[in-house]
Amino acid sequence: MLFPDQSAERAPAGNLATGWLKLIAVFFMFIDHSGKMLFANMQEMRMLGRIAFPIYVWCMIVGLHYTRSVPKYLLRVLAVGILSQPLYMWGLNHTWNQPNIFLTLALGLCALWGIREKRYGSEIWAPAAAILLANVLRAVYGWKGIMLFILLYAVRDSRSGIAAVTVAWFLFWGTYYKLFDTILGIRIPYDQMTQAVKLVVQPFLHLETMALLSLPFLLIRFRKDIRLPKWVSYGLYPAHLLLLIALEKIVGV
């Protein structure tokens, strides 16, 4: 079975310092969105921005394990997404039918909730519905984002499992993106590489593959965590959008 012994909930084995992880995730998201809003799609900033999503997913998995009320947790996630949508649209030139990342997080949480509870076959229909809705509602990262939730949840109690799933999934995900031609202004000499070298190097040189840089944050446990008030924890996302919008107006991009 993919999800054995759900009656005895298995504790996550990776980094449990979700206070720090949320700050780290919003920091890399700020870099990512800065690369889009302020620096004309600067490739290197977008690369670093890939670190944010796996950290958010892992925080949701840890949060599901420790929360006292999944419905309240889910409502908070949805509320932040709804309140942030106008800022997301304003700052990143999106529309109402292009929802922000909190829809993906909410759908992923619903998928895991169904898998854990196993009510009326919810371990089957909940993740299937989340994947379908992610595509229909045009959630950020679509079905691939929801699958990351499901796969990481399946191996949440094993550090080696977390590492293996993350590497395999993002190497696959990276194939949806073109190869980098340059990094930090340095041309990548693909034409000078042997076929054997290309087979090893090229899979790691796609945009979404850069999400593998999140692995140390997922796996290495911090000795201490920082306790963030809920309003700060959930306010980080809209706050970073407000800051970017203000900076964009100041510099006149």
Average pLDDT, the chain: 94
Residue with tokens 């140390």: 216
Please give the model's pTM, rounded to 2 decimal places: 0.93
State pLDDT tens for residues 8-45. Answer: 578 899 999 999 999 999 999 999 999 999 998 789 99
**Alpha-carbon torsion angle 147, 150, 154, 155, nearest 10:** 60
83, 120, 165 from 169: Cα distances, Å: 31, 29, 6
Residue/partner pairs of 164-167 with CB below 8 Å, 24 or more apart: 166/54, 166/211, 166/212, 166/214, 166/215, 166/218, 167/212, 167/215
pLDDT at 103: 98
Inform me whether the pLDDT recorded for 74 exceeds 90.
yes
State pLDDT tens for residues 122-169. Answer: 999 999 999 999 999 999 999 999 999 999 999 999 999 999 999 999
Portion of the chain with pLDDT greater than 70, in percent: 96
For the chain, give every domain's residue range.
18-158+214-251
